[in-house]
Amino acid sequence: MKEISICCVGWEKEGLTLEAAGHIEAADAVILRTERCGLGSYLRERGIDFQALDSLYDRCEDFDQLDDMIEEAVVSAAEDKRVYYATPTLSDRAAARILRKYPEARGDVALYALSPCQTVTASDWERLEPNARQDAVVYEITDALLASEVKLRLMESYGDEAPVYFRRPGGGIERTVLSDLDRMGEYDHRCAAVICGGEEYSRRNVLDLHDLMDVMALLRDKCPWDGQQTHESLKKYLLEEAYETIDAIDRDSDPDMCEELGDVLFQVAFHAQIAKEHGAYGMRDVVDGICRKMIRRHVHVFGGVKAETAEEVARLWQQVKRQEKKERTPSEAIRDLPVYLPSLMLAQKAIKRAREYGLPLPGSREPDTARILDALSSADTDAETALHGAIVNWMQRIQTESDLDHTSS
């Protein structure tokens, strides 16, 4: 195979460079990704023969197939000719694939990046949010110290052995790995690097929430057990993981807390993925919802309201919550409580809500106390179940009486 020169020529002929003109003169064959660019007009005006690949767009079902056919056309032409392949945009995946696969191919380092990708100058490394699912292009790596800062930041996500294409001061491209980015010897403002993303999970240093959702989707598709789970079947696991998290907190074990919180998060991801498959909601909706709720509820932080103490914050929280839920009657306030809470927690919340609305409490009427004591003393059920049933019955009676009072008034 002979040499393949690849260049980004832009869309306007006024932007053509001396480098592009030099490659055209040296090439035996000129191939344009599309003739609808400035270079097409330039070549026609000068009577220079070229091959345009516009017809491939109509023949391909998707861009993956298009990239395959562009690669095949360029590489086939290079079997016996020096080829110049011109693309109007840096986000040319076919160009990146050719540069990575064939040693005979040459092009600017930016063309080695697969789109979409992150782009940053090395001096702005602190603003870089490493994302090992995609490529990163770093320009102006002026010295080894700066290269080291960039490397350490990227290693927060990318693996140590992530492939890197490094542009040396003289323009040559060298393949290396991320751990050697600060060991390239000579640096100046012309140095740049493409860090390749998309490596398999086990080769990355850190995985994030996006990776969790990718893993979750894969498990739902490939794992028989995960694939058959439902919201209902998963309830016990969510409760179990929550209790194990509480146990880790009580034991003051940071490593166990980290692990158990991950298990809880996995359950959240599980439910979000199931809902996404049904078209109900997804993890993005879950995250968006909780962020917006916290912003609304913390009016003393995000709004113009003042709250100096934790007690004032709690009152504001309840005030905003009532406005959101549009609670109008004591019955609605009681009905809002989830009856599947553990009995003691349900009792605490129900009694607190009853006091807020001036409702009668269990124990303030002798029959109520007797019913609860009778239930708790029953040999047919455990205390937790008995208390739970007694509290739910009391809540239902309060709702009925409050509705009647509200209707009669």
Domain check: are 220 and 245 in the same one?
yes
Threshold 0.85, pTM exceeds: no
The contacts of residue 48 (CB under 8 Å, 6+ apart) are: 24, 30
Tell whether 8 and 99 lie within a shared domain.
yes
Q: Does one domain contain both 241 and 274? A: yes
372 in a structural domain: yes
Residue 319 falls inside a structural domain: no
Residue 366 covered by a domain: yes
Instruction: Indicate the number of domains in the chain.
Output: 4
Point out the domain boundary residue: 188, 203, 218: 203
Residue type, 284: R
Residues 334, 241 within the same domain: no
- Is residue 103 domain-shared with residue 12, that is, in the same domain? yes
**290 part of a folded domain:** no
Nearest to 215 by CA among 275, 266, 260, 261: 266
> What are 309's two structure tokens?
């103490």
Residues 213, 199: one domain? no
The CA-atom distances, in angstroms, between 353 and each of 322, 329, 335, 357 are 12, 12, 10, 7
Q: What is the pLDDT of residue 408?
A: 60
Exposure letters 17-27 (e unless 16+ CB within 10 A, then b): eeebeebbeeb
Give the residue among 201, 269, 264 at the shortest CA–CA distance from 229: 269
323-382 tens-digit pLDDT: 877 766 777 777 778 877 777 677 777 777 777 777 766 655 546 555 654 554 454 555
> Is residue 62 a part of any domain in this protein?
yes
Q: Which residues pair with 135 in a beta bridge?
A: 117
Question: Does residue 238 share a domain with residue 171?
Answer: no
Domain limits for position 271: 209-281
The CATH number that applies at residue 229 is 1.10.287.1080
Question: Can you read off the two tokens belonging to residue 110?
Answer: 């930016």
**Which of residues 78, 107, 136 is at a domain's end?**
107
Q: Give exposure, 147-175, as e/b (b: 16+ Cβ within 10 Å).
A: bebbbebbbebbbeebbbbbbbeeeebee
Q: Does 240 lie in the same domain as 186?
A: no
Q: Could you tell me if residue 137 is inside a domain?
A: yes
pLDDT at 374: 52
User: Does residue 190 share a domain with residue 235?
Assistant: no
> What per-residue confidence (pLDDT) applies to 107?
92
Nearest to 266 by CA among 321, 189, 318, 211: 211
Exposure string over 121-132, b if 16+ CB within 10 A, otherwise e: bbeebeebebbb
What Å distances lie between residue 402 and 91, 330, 334, 389, 391, CA to CA?
Answer: 65, 6, 10, 20, 16
Tell me, what CATH number does 43's domain have? 3.40.1010
How many Å apart are CA 357 and CA 121, to the nearest integer? Answer: 60
Q: Are 267 and 248 in contact (CB under 8 A)?
A: no
End residue of a domain, out of 156, 179, 203? 203
Q: Does residue 394 form part of some domain? A: yes
Q: What is the CATH number of the domain that holds 127?
A: 3.30.950.10
121 and 103 part of one domain: no
Q: What is the CA radius of gyration of the chain?
A: 32
**Same domain as 100, residue 128:** no
Contact indicator for 384, 343 with CB cutoff of 8 Å: yes
Say if 70 falls within a structural domain.
yes
Domain check: are 244 and 260 in the same one? yes
Low-confidence ranges of the chain (pLDDT < 70): 327-328, 344, 360-388, 402-409
